[in-house]
């Protein structure tokens, strides 16, 4: 689990503990826990493929970590909507504050125009001929843009481009 983003998270955790910022400390702890869980899932999947594999070498990469952070942000967004529907503004505010902390670790999100450019390049690269090739395009494009663009936006752009071919 030695990725540069994880190292930064661990350093930020130590600093937030020194600064006694409880919300930041708990949020980073939860994030590191989610990353470790993702790593265990990755090891388990690898073990199921090859029981003789050396699992000590399996680590999560920065794109994997960005995926975990994006998932955590999405969970916060869903929680905020649920809390607001239940008239619990205090809990919604806490979730929003956690989400702001998580967003610090995300790269700048790509615009729809930037995703469009990347999608066109991937479509040309895989030689997609129409909507039937969506799986090939999405697999490659989502891996390339993981953490940099929202999955729904990527899906919408790819659908639009493939339907116009």
Average pLDDT, the chain: 89
Assign 108 a pLDDT band (cuts: 50, 70, 90).
confident
Residue 137 contacts residue 158 (beta carbons within 8 Å): yes
* pLDDT of 60: 82
Query: Which of 43-47, 68-72, 150-154 is the least confident region?
Result: 43-47
Which pTM value belongs to this model?
A: 0.75
Rounded mean pLDDT, 25-41: 94
> Closest Cα partner for 115 from 135, 77, 73, 144?
144
Other residues' Cβ atoms within 10 Å of the Cβ of residue 111: 11
Task: Render pLDDT for 66-84 as a digit per residue (tens, 0 to 9).
Answer: 889 989 999 999 999 999 9
Q: Give CA 148 to chain center in angstroms.
A: 8
CB 9 within 8 A of CB 32: yes
Q: Backbone phi, then psi, for 126, in 5-degree steps?
A: -90, -10
The answer on pLDDT for 144 being more than 50 is yes
Percent of residues, the chain, with pLDDT higher than 70: 95
Q: Are 135 and 126 within 8 A, CB to CB?
A: no
Delineate the domains of the chain, giving CATH numbers in brackets. 4-103 (1.10.1510.10), 112-163 (1.10.10.410)
Q: How many CB atoms lie within 10 A of CB 65?
A: 26
DSSP structure class, residue 149: S
């Amino acid at each position: 689990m030695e990725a540069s983003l994880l190292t930064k998270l661990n350093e930020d955790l130590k600093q937030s503990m020194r600064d006694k910022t409880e919300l930041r400390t708990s949020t980073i702890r939860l994030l590191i826990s989610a990353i470790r869980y993702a790593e265990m899932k990755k090891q388990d999947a690898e073990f199921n493929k090859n029981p003789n594999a050396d699992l000590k070498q399996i680590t999560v990469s920065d794109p994997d970590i960005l995926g975990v952070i994006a998932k955590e942000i999405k969970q916060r967004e869903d929680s905020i909507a649920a809390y607001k529907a239940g008239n619990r503004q205090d809990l919604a505010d806490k979730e929003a504050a956690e989400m702001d902390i998580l967003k610090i670790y995300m790269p700048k999100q790509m615009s729809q125009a930037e995703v469009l450019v990347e999608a066109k390049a991937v479509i040309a690269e895989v030689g997609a001929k129409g909507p039937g090739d969506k799986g090939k395009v999405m697999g490659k494009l989502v891996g390339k843009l993981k953490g940099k663009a929202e999955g729904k936006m990527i899906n919408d752009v790819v659908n639009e481009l493939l339907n116009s071919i």
